[in-house]
Structure 1
């Protein structure tokens, strides 16, 4: 899934082609940017972060990873025949007819009988 604003950066990275797609190039670039920052005390933390990013990119490049842009995919419409479900072939299970008659004769007039006594003490 594409993140917010990613399409703009992806179009910039596509322009430079294999130079930006390759993680070896990114690792070297991050390492080169980290060197000047190491000489100034105020930028040591940024230098450490760039150095760690350089190591991460280098390890990813060794494992064969590379950047690829997210291409928009056309949504495949499901065919009509796949969306229609087949109707059931067998009827739902029911108790035998004599059991259904007994249940109908024993059923209370008001419907369901609550087995727990309920009282209103207001």
Structure 2
């Protein structure tokens, strides 16, 4: 693998992680509004790329295609995975707390 390939994958990985971390934290807080805003920004960006690809010449179309593959796809995938993992992690904390008291009986006398 050449150095240029490593740099390309590192940039795409950084873009993926740059989208996954905010989505993870918003998903962990179960912020539907925040995740919706991130999703709308991604949809607008992707739509703008498709619109530009339709209206450009051959070389511009190629640049838009690379932007779709190298930027939009990792952002969308990172946002989706980050939000799903964050949302799942937020539910685990509640279940662990209630399951640790399973089988526990309170034998203390009621207060008078």
TM class by shorter chain equals 0.3 to 0.5
* Structure with greater helix share of residues: 2
Higher relative contact order (CA 8 A, sep 6+): 2
TM-score by length of 1: 0.31
